[in-house]
């Protein structure tokens, strides 16, 4: 993997007369887990769409190196295909000889080996998201773009999925950009959190969290990071608490 698999330089993006992103410069290092948070409608998904090249920036440049896979909030499994066939779809770049072995490994990794021949409607929401993750990681993704992948799940299922994602990334390392509304999720998972401002969005600040994963939601650094994001987003009731997280303001 390259040292800088994602590099955005002075990227701005307009939809018609509406400027959504304004002069965003962002580099993501190989293997880094970057979370993106910000107010609703500020352009988080647009940022992912620019990285995936689904959208072209109005100005600035986007450079990526390596295979990109995406995981969305809505599960996008094909309902007429079994779990195994859905995952096989992600393996078009894998040789036929290696495919079945990798399928078995992925099913084992997500704990769904007994459900290979089930259809998506026979699975819970959490199980479907696990299969989505396996499909995205099949065939060796270099960059994983995740757009609120766990937001449809209940709190306990989200906690389990975070743990599962950490475990999966240990087995299948890649560079991750993870959009979420859930500040706790960002603090539990990310090496670096990008806080976007209101539209037209700029990078308001970056928070680095140097703490090994898995991280407990009650760890003081996780709690501090949530507290700082709340402050940055103007959502604190009490703005007086100090924060020990290393943060960099880009305003």
Ligand X SMILES: Nc1ncnc2c1ncn2[C@@H]1O[C@H](COP(=O)(O)OP(=O)(O)OP(=O)(O)O)[C@@H](O)[C@H]1O
Q: How many residues bind ligand X (CB under 6 A)?
A: 10
CA 67/CA 26 separation, integer angstroms: 19
- CB neighbours of 145 closer than 8 A, spacing ≥ 6? 48, 51, 52, 68, 69, 70, 71, 176, 177
Is 16 or 212 the residue whose CB approaches ligand X more closely?
16
Q: In DSSP terms, which residues pair with 13 in a beta bridge?
A: 21
Q: Does 43 bind ligand X (CB under 6 A)?
A: yes
Number of residues that this document lists for the chain:
251
Neighbours of 79 (CB within 10 A): 9
Segment interacting with ligand X, rule: CB under 6 A, options 42-50, 104-112, 122-130, 227-235: 42-50
Contact present, 232 and 214 (Cβ < 8 Å) = no
Nearer to ligand X, 91 or 190 (CB): 190
Ranges within 44-73 binding ligand X (CB under 6 A) = 44-46
| 187 part of the interface to ligand X, by CB under 6 A | no
Q: How far apart are CA 224 and CA 215, in angstroms?
A: 13
In the bound state with ligand X, the residue whose beta carbon lies nearer, of 137 and 179, is: 179
Give whichever of 88 and 199 is closer to ligand X, judged by the CB atom: 199
Is residue 40 a contact residue for ligand X (CB under 6 A)? yes
Q: Which is nearer to ligand X, 105 or 198 (CB)?
A: 198
> Among 35-43, 186-194, 220-228, 238-246, which window interacts with ligand X (CB under 6 A)?
35-43
The whole-angstrom separation of Cα 7 and Cα 26 is 6
Residues making contact with ligand X (CB under 6 A): 15, 20, 38, 40-46
């Amino acid at each position: 993997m390259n040292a800088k698999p994602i590099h955005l330089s002075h990227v701005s993006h307009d939809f018609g007369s509406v400027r959504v992103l304004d002069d965003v410069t962002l580099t993501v290092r190989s293997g880094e887990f970057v979370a993106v948070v910000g107010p609703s409608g500020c352009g988080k998904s647009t940022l992912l769409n620019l990285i995936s090249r689904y959208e072209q920036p109005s100005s600035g440049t986007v450079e990526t190196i390596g295979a990109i896979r995406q995981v969305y909030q809505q599960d996008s499994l094909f309902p007429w295909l079994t779990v195994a066939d859905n995952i096989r779809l992600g393996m078009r770049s894998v040789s036929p000889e290696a495919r079945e072995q990798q399928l078995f490994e992925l099913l084992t990794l997500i704990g769904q080996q007994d459900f290979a021949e089930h259809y998506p409607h026979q699975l819970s929401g959490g199980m479907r998201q696990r299969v989505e993750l396996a499909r995205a990681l099949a065939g060796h993704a270099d960059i994983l773009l995740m757009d609120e992948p766990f937001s449809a799940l209940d709190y306990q299922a989200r906690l389990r999925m975070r743990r599962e994602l950490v475990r999966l990334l240990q087995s299948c390392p890649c560079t991750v950009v993870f959009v979420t509304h859930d500040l706790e999720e960002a603090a539990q998972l990310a090496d670096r959190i990008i806080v976007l401002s209101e539209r037209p969005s700029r990078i308001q600040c970056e928070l680095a969290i140097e703490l090994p994963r898995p991280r407990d939601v009650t760890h003081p650094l996780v709690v501090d990071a949530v507290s700082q994001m709340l402050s940055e987003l103007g959502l604190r009731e009490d703005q007086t608490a100090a924060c020990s997280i290393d943060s960099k303001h880009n305003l």
